[in-house]
Amino acid sequence: GAGVSQTPSNKVTEKGKYVELRCDPISGHTALYWYRQSLGQGPEFLIYFQGTGAADDSGLPNDRFFAVRPEGSVSTLKIQRTERGDSAVYLCASSSHGTSGYNEQFFGPGTRLTVL
């Protein structure tokens, strides 16, 4: 079956611009996560959705970052007034439920964001 997909795979933008990154989770997965991975580092948690609501957005670095999941499936991560320090790979993951059981998270291929 289809895995987690993310678009675009690469995004180059200029400092100060607005970007949107899209994640399409595995069908039926209620839990969705966004992570950010800088070069040579492990993924860093940003936000967690259970259904349509953001259950935990404590990892978002500041108010320039915002994410939505209006219908409980596709999610969009939005970054306003991008800065060079935002350059990283943004990973999306989904799982069948959030807090109980095995709860393996399946990751998408990521969007590589470069802010010039």
List contacts with other proteins (CB under 8 A).
4, 31, 33, 35, 40-45, 48, 50, 55-56, 91, 95, 98-99, 102-110
Closest CA to 86 of 108, 107, 112, 67: 112
Distance of CA 20 to the CA centre of its chain: 10
Identity of the residue, 67 or 110, whose beta carbon is nearer to other proteins in the bound complex: 110
Find the shortest distance in angstroms from Cβ 18 to other proteins: 25
Helices (H) and strands (E) in the chain, counts: 0, 11
Identity of the residue, 14 or 53, whose beta carbon is nearer to other proteins in the bound complex: 53
**Burial category of 27 from C-beta neighbours within 10 Å (exposed 0-12, middle 13-18, buried 19 and up):** exposed
Identity of the residue, 45 or 66, whose beta carbon is nearer to other proteins in the bound complex: 45
Find the shortest distance in angstroms from Cβ 99 to other proteins: 5
Distance of CA 54 to the CA centre of its chain: 12
Element at 106 (helix H, strand E): strand 106-107
Find the shortest distance in angstroms from Cβ 91 to other proteins: 7
Find the shortest distance in angstroms from Cβ 108 to other proteins: 6
